């Protein structure tokens, strides 16, 4: 990749119940992100962190929803609008936006910013979870479990321009590594045109074949592609420090192979984010360090 990479931190934990992911951007930087990118031949600058309100100073139920529940809706809207503006400004300056979370609700802002200017965007969502709940189906009210539904304008999000991103079509959205789905979002996934590859698909077909097909789907007729990497995609034995760990995830090598396949489509890659690193639950920052390695692989780092 010839573009300069701009790192944007979003220390956000309003979208989740468990505290700690707000320290993710700092942990990732401390884990050697800049050095890993440099080793891949990538020039990068750090754009600092986007301001996030403190949950102690906010009312989680003060929002503007017509139905259902989404905690810290107003604050999430404000943060995601700022993220979208920063991502779009980065692209307009000819740089590549690499966004560090923070919980996965920030993906709403990243995708909105990357899809501006009426250009269609495909999405690959590496995640143990579907993140396809709506305010009407969510069992928790946590927006980090609604990110994909939000950008696709599902449920109550249809009336909110800051979330709904029409440039992203369901048929160009792919979830990879799915293994923990709520009943309500399972029904909505079945009814949608979103492609979901479960861990059973990876077990049966292998990570390279699944990721190759995911890339084909995300880039079919689109102007670019967004890659969202939730570290809970990996098995907790590899990445213990995540917001919502689920057993049975991908291995260290499977994760690297997936990112190496992403790197082969660097000309179509428009934006990327890495989320849900929780240093409170981590062991000697190993999850953040692993995340830095994976990002470097996505940007072209190889053994030879």
Catalytic residues: 104, 127, 129, 131, 144, 230, 232, 276
Contact 3, 45 (CB under 8 A): no
Report how far residue 107's alpha carbon sits from residue 83's, in angstroms, rounded to the nearest whole number.
Answer: 9
232 is in an annotated binding site: yes
230 is in an annotated binding site: yes
The two three-digit tokens of residue 249, written as one number: 């995830």
The two three-digit tokens of residue 11, written as one number: 């220390």
| N- to C-terminal Cα separation, the chain | 17
DSSP sequence for 131-163: ----TTT-SS--GGGSHHHHHTT-GGGGG-TTT
**Phi–psi pair at 121, nearest 5 degrees:** -125, 130
DSSP sequence for 29-86: HHTTHHHHHHHTT--EEEEEE-----GGGS-TT----SSS--TTHHHHHHHHHHHHHH
Tokens 């891949």, residue?
Answer: 40
Bridge partners (DSSP) listed for residue 250: 234
284 is in an annotated binding site: no
Contact 110, 271 (CB under 8 A): yes
Contact 4, 43 (CB under 8 A): yes
22 is in an annotated binding site: no
203 is in an annotated binding site: no
Report how far residue 56's alpha carbon sits from residue 66's, in angstroms, rounded to the nearest whole number.
Answer: 25
Residues comprising the binding site?
104, 127, 129, 131, 230, 232
Residues comprising the binding site for Mn(2+)?
104, 127, 129, 131, 230, 232
């Amino acid at each position: 990749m010839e573009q300069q990479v701009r790192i944007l931190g979003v220390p956000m934990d309003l979208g989740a119940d468990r505290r700690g992911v707000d320290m993710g951007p700092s942990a990732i930087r401390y884990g050697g992100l800049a050095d890993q990118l440099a080793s891949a031949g990538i020039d990068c600058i750090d754009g600092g962190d986007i301001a996030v309100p403190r949950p102690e100073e906010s009312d989680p139920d003060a929002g503007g929803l017509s139905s259902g529940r989404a905690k810290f809706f107003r604050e999430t809207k404000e943060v995601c609008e700022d993220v979208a503006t920063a991502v779009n400004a980065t692209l307009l300056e000819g740089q590549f936006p690499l966004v560090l979370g923070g919980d996965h609700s920030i993906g709403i802002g990243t995708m909105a910013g990357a899809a501006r200017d009426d250009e269609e965007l495909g999405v690959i969502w590496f995640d143990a979870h579907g993140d396809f709940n709506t305010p009407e189906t969510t069992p928790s009210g946590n927006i980090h479990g609604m990110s994909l539904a939000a950008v696709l304008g599902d449920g109550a999000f249809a009336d909110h321009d800051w979330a709904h991103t029409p440039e992203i079509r369901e048929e160009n959205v792919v979830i990879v590594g799915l293994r923990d789905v709520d009943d309500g979002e399972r029904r909505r996934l079945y009814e949608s045109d979103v492609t979901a590859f479960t861990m059973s698909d990876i077990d049966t077909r292998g990570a390279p074949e699944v990721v190759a097909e995911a890339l084909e789907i995300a880039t079919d007729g689109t102007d670019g592609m967004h890659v969202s990497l939730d570290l809970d995609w990996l098995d907790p034995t590899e990445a213990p420090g995540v917001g919502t760990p689920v057993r049975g995830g991908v291995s260290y090598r499977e994760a690297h192979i997936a990112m190496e396949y992403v790197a082969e489509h660097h000309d179509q890659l428009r934006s990327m984010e890495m989320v849900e690193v929780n240093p409170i639950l981590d062991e000697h920052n190993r999850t953040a360090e692993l995340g830095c390695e994976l990002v470097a692989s996505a940007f072209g780092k190889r053994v030879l």
